[in-house]
Amino acid sequence: MTASVSDTAPVPDRLATLRPLLGELMDLKRVRTADHLEGLAARGFRRAWAALVAGVEPEALALRETALALVSVRLGGIDAEVLHRAGLPPPRALELLHRALDAAAGPLEPGLRERLHAALAEPLGTEGTAPPPFVERLVRQPRAGATLPGRPRILLEPAESHADHCYAVAIAAVLVAPLFGARPALPFVAGLSHHLFNVVLPDAGYAGDVLLGDAVGPMVERLTEEVLATLPTGPVDRIREARRVLPRTDTPEARAFHAADVLDRVLEMDFHARAAGFTLRHALEDLELVHDGPMQSYENAVLVAAGIQP
């Protein structure tokens, strides 16, 4: 469902510097491990909601979760728990996590990079806390794909979930916040919570919204309130405060949220376009699939013998 917002708000030119990193962030929807089959974005969504409902202060949560997401951009499913299990002592594991964060965070504002490093070193103390039950509904609820009235739906597989989208928007909002002069907490929580109605309401896309007409607004409001009623008062107050940015673009925090939302929607399409256009030449030449190492010459010879030119 879309909000009615002004289209005259200023947009910083420097957003272009973040575009490659934002694209990699969106790919966490599809990076999976044996322990997290729905993907690392869904894992982060669960973790963030568990911490939010447990009463963690939203700005600390936003910075910590963004730091973890950027580590995952470079290391995938390798996190502190995996490194400890593999035998690394905590100081060495943290050193490697900071290295991964630095490898991803180059395009960010220096002040934000420093705050993310500090957040990475400070666990929130909510590890192992269960998220509220509705979170699993959003993990399983797929987004509609591309729809337009009068035209067939374009199905995009693998379909992202509403948890995927909300988590990507929340993290992207933190990354773009300094460009808008925004503090990260409000757009982060707005990102996590802006599709609560989809806990119940399947996504029919823009075409469905048009057909439903003036019935959409009351349904969205009622279903959102049903979800909020299941949560403790303190977190609900914070969520309501953050959600005030949804129908507006007249504050830095609102502009950061809407920038993150539209970038995720469009970069998701970009992923599918790139996947459809992927070729073996891209893998061998651009990505150096047969990469530098002691076996490279032999492996290239195998490809030539097999009629596959490296």
Which whole number is the average pLDDT over 25-40?
Answer: 96
pLDDT at position 69: 98
d(CA 263, CA 174) in angstroms, rounded, equals 13
What is the SS3 assignment for 33?
strand
CA distances from 48 to 66, 96, 135 (A): 10, 23, 10
Q: Check if the beta carbon of residue 306 is closer than 8 Å to that of residue 290.
A: no
What are the boundaries of each domain within the chain?
15-143+157-278, 279-310
Tokens coding 213? 């007409």
Q: How much is the mean pLDDT over the chain?
A: 92
154 or 66, higher pLDDT: 66
Q: What pLDDT band is residue 7 in, cutting at 50, 70 and 90?
A: low
Q: How far apart are the first and last CA of the chain?
A: 47
Percent of all residues in the chain with a pLDDT value above 90, rounded to a whole number: 76
Tokens coding 135? 């979170």
Buried b or exposed e, range 276-289, using 16+ CB within 10 angstroms: eeeeeeeebeeeee
pLDDT at position 3: 44
pTM given for the model: 0.89
d(CA 272, CA 112) in angstroms, rounded, equals 30
Question: For residue range 50-81, what is the model confidence (pLDDT) as tens digits?
Answer: 999 999 999 999 999 999 999 999 999 999 99
d(CA 22, CA 249) in angstroms, rounded, equals 21
The answer to whether residue 235 scores a pLDDT higher than 50 is yes
**Residue 292 DSSP code:** S
pLDDT at position 305: 81
Residue in 41, 208, 4 with CA at minimum distance from that of residue 135 = 41
pLDDT at position 8: 61
The answer to whether residue 309 scores a pLDDT higher than 80 is no
The answer to whether residue 21 scores a pLDDT higher than 50 is yes
d(CA 302, CA 224) in angstroms, rounded, equals 58
- The kind and range of the H/E element at 165 are helix 162-180
pLDDT at position 286: 78
**32: CB partners within 8 A, 6+ apart:** 38, 39, 40, 77
**Chain CA centroid to CA 241, Å:** 21
Q: Check if the beta carbon of residue 207 is closer than 8 Å to that of residue 154.
A: no
CA distances from 130 to 29, 52, 196 (A): 20, 11, 18
The answer to whether residue 1 scores a pLDDT higher than 60 is no
What is the SS3 assignment for 199?
helix
Which whole number is the average pLDDT over 175-198?
Answer: 97
Question: For residue range 75-118, what is the model confidence (pLDDT) as tens digits?
Answer: 999 999 999 999 999 999 999 999 999 999 999 999 999 999 99
pLDDT at position 227: 98
Question: For residue range 118-142, what is the model confidence (pLDDT) as tens digits?
Answer: 999 999 999 889 999 999 999 999 9
Q: What pLDDT band is residue 252 in, cutting at 50, 70 and 90?
A: very high
d(CA 188, CA 137) in angstroms, rounded, equals 20
**297: CB partners within 8 A, 6+ apart:** none
41 or 273, higher pLDDT: 41
pLDDT at position 2: 43
Buried b or exposed e, range 119-149, using 16+ CB within 10 angstroms: bbeeebebeeeebbebbebbbebbbbbbbee
Which whole number is the average pLDDT over 233-250?
Answer: 96
